Amino acid sequence: MSTHDFNHQGPQHLNNVEWENHEHQRIVAACLVHAAYVLEDDRREGRSGEDRLGRPWWEFFGFECISTLLNLENCSSGFTIGAVFRLKEASRTSPFAPAMVIAVRGTVNHHDWGVNVDTLLGRGRQRHSCRIVMQQAESLVREHGVESNLWLCGHSLWAAVATFVGDQMAKKGCFLTTFLFNPPYILDRRSKDGFRHKLDDIMEVAGDVTGGLIAGKFGRVFADLAALGTNLHDKKKLDQQQQFDNLKKWNPRVYVNAKDWICTRYIEYFERKMKGSPEKLPKRIASATLVINMDEPGDELPHFKEAYFIMQWFDNPGDAYRRFKEAHSIMQWWKPGLRVEAKRYVMA
């Protein structure tokens, strides 16, 4: 039996999707992300058309796959990083139903590791894969409008890519319904674009000063220079405040497992850092719903100590790795009767 066999692995219990139900939304989003995994497997195995094993994972919920997202970076034939799905008209039975969905998978082969390393170091936005997802999101917003219900879903390290894309779209006032499954905690880096904007401002000021000096208007130049500096500072503060206000309106759903050491720092981020001052914190996510899968009754949140995880790895490594794979898998998120705790966080 293939691990992609929907008849044995899929959520057969969900034969009637209630689109306003958050649990049903989570199940559909997770299955579409899994479909992206299967599409890459179909590509490698040369399956196409009716033979694709990925088809049941979206057709069961009334979707059609309108395009795949191919990354040609460091690979001549390209590899599938995700897909774009459209909900058929007959299945749009509720205003909560998505019009379109972008789903990106996690790591499956060696082509992904370059993206993974850059993403973990906060340089993921410079990679071709991130630009592909960003361009696709911008294209869907242009085509369907900002008021459309557009979904963005990702798993594991590629959930970090979805985080960046959703963040950038939110700053522009475009709020995608975002599902982030088992995302890692990513380092912060200053954007090169921000440096370029500052350089442009400096060059503009320098041009004004030079022109004024040539004309012999020293007093006017320095007055204009002071006024320009003040205006630029005020504009920057207003822009930052507007972006932060927009981020607070974006409410991604972050799904983590208390036993998954890759994303436990996200739990710490919400539990501790979200209570602080926004001026002193990375504005990665300013508002979100954290959903924790506790797996079993009596489970507790892990201690945030590196030694704790090292002990877990060396205490019967086989069992530890199996537990980690289960805790990090996308499959856990469509199981019936999942025991989760959900809490909304909004940064001050």
Torsion of CA 20, 25, 27, 28, to 10 degrees: 110
Instruction: Give the residues across from 178 on adjacent strands.
Output: 152
- Buried/exposed 39-48: b ≥16 CB within 10 Å, e otherwise: bbbbbeeebe
Whole-angstrom distance, CA of residue 206 vs CA of residue 212 = 10
pLDDT at residue 311, as a whole number: 36
Q: Are strands 100-104 and 150-155 parallel, antiparallel or unpaired?
A: parallel
Helix/strand/coil for 100 = strand
* Per-residue CA distances from 71 to 68, 76, 80 (Å): 10, 10, 6
Concatenated DSSP letters of 285-325: -SEEEEEEE--STT--PPP--HHHHHHHHHSSHHHHHHHHH
Q: Are 165 and 137 in contact (CB under 8 A)?
A: yes
- Buried/exposed 227-246: b ≥16 CB within 10 Å, e otherwise: eeeeebeeeeeeeeeebeeb
Element (H, E) at 63: strand 63-71
Whole-angstrom distance, CA of residue 153 vs CA of residue 27 = 11
pLDDT at residue 142, as a whole number: 93
Give mean pLDDT in consecutive 10-residue pieces for the chain, a chain of 348 residues: 75 91 96 94 83 90 93 68 93 92 85 61 63 93 90 92 90 93 71 46 49 53 59 60 79 91 80 58 70 66 39 52 87 89 82
pLDDT at residue 294, as a whole number: 79
Helix/strand/coil for 346 = strand
Whole-angstrom distance, CA of residue 112 vs CA of residue 120 = 12
Whole-angstrom distance, CA of residue 133 vs CA of residue 162 = 8
114: Cβ contacts below 8 Å, ≥ 6 apart: 73, 74, 127
CA neighbor of 330 nearest in space, from 90, 26, 21: 26
pLDDT at residue 298, as a whole number: 47
